[in-house]
Structure 1
């Protein structure tokens, strides 16, 4: 594997590790924090639900953005949103604000929308023989981080004695910031045109549909006439 490809794979592997570790902190504590901040206990899981909901809303837009601006810009934007989300969540715990906490977790959802393209970026312009291996290598970073994340949540839980759980969200912000800095070293690869780009799309199949439709209508008229 060329040195540039190996470097790219390492960056994406570490990016996946940092994202999954930060997401695991949210996964571990967000339901508990929501339960503590919200007097109406039925909405306690809303902050965590917003992570997935916002990720679903922004995934398509993230793909379009990276198609125009490149993977590097998109990944840095997503990591910046994760950093902001961690800081907002920290401030929400300090202010005991449920709505502010929901805003912070929503920003983490944007981070998730961009980060899920790390594994796909590992296959960009890669030879077909190594694409599956590259994707698996990047995803293995998430496996490691899924063990590391809860440990970081436990470590950050009591980091600020006056505000329980707040330190864990500072860790979320730090991990996302490290991911943004890491992505500075990522180089975008030239976009390969799709096979149909630059070609005129034949409308022959439409003509065939029209001719078949005309024949069917004609047969129906003849059939109706038989009953008259």
Structure 2
């Protein structure tokens, strides 16, 4: 497996997706949580929280096929780019290796962020408000409160989010299988898609596909152990 060129490519692609998706989701989760926390109206908070979470309850097949249609050469997104003069007529975003990878990452970020926002927001809301009042009485501004109080207190939750998001990204399958099928070329070919094809598309190589599955599990386990070590420090 280690000497398999296709496995090496899928492993590298999976790592690239992790680097594109996870940091972006973390930043969005922090910014969205800060925005929600600064709103005083509970009703408005609930409405905005529901909007953030809505993509999480949408079927992956539904939103994946929707975004796939947008990216076609006659789709809304491609036509908009053509009308703005950014690309030439007949442009298909999914035929570009770099853009297709970025596009898939954006779809995953849109679909997954709400779940992590709700987790982080719940952690921030669980902090005793007396701590904020004490800090304000001592002259701390909003930036200082978030930097010195809120972020350190929710650090375990942030590490949990990073772990969950990384594990989900290493198992990325539905969006890839339905939109690009690993293309163009092998630019979006991930470990999970390679495992699936080894079992159901090519000759049913259950032993090799099991080895790929174990490698995904070990990658997630190693990263989780790293997070645990960081948390202890």
TM-score after normalising by structure 2: 0.35
TM-score after normalising by structure 1: 0.36
Structure 1 or 2, whichever has the larger Rg, is: 1
